[in-house]
Amino acid sequence: MKPRARQLTNVTVTLDEDTLAKARVKAAEMNESLSRFVGEVLRAHLGKEDAYEAAMRESLAEKPLDLKGTWKPYPKREEIYDRPGLRRR
């Protein structure tokens, strides 16, 4: 079974001269057209957002980790500091 071809749509993008020049150079370095380069950059950027959203949903779906175990009252101050080396003479 052949993979389905993606349908491409033309869009108009407005860029400042500096950004356009850098994008053209980068596309040429990658031996791609400017159009394909911009599409790949957008696809990669949007893919990162999708991956972040999925990771966040997965993390929030987990039950919280019980770090303390069963509850025990904290020791009294006198119990903690009742050591001979800490007593004033």
Query: What pLDDT is stored for residue 88 in this prediction?
Result: 63
pTM for the complete prediction? Answer: 0.54
Is the CB of residue 21 less than 8 Å from the CB of residue 7?
no
Query: What pLDDT is stored for residue 3 in this prediction?
Result: 64
Distance CA(42)–CA(39), nearest Å, equals: 5
Q: What is the pLDDT along the chain (89 residues), one digit of tens a residue?
A: 566 677 888 989 999 999 999 999 999 999 999 999 999 999 888 888 888 888 899 988 988 877 777 878 888 887 777 666 666 65
Query: What pLDDT is stored for residue 89 in this prediction?
Result: 57
Runs of H (alpha helix) within the chain: 17-29, 34-61, 77-80
Is the CB of residue 34 less than 8 Å from the CB of residue 28?
no
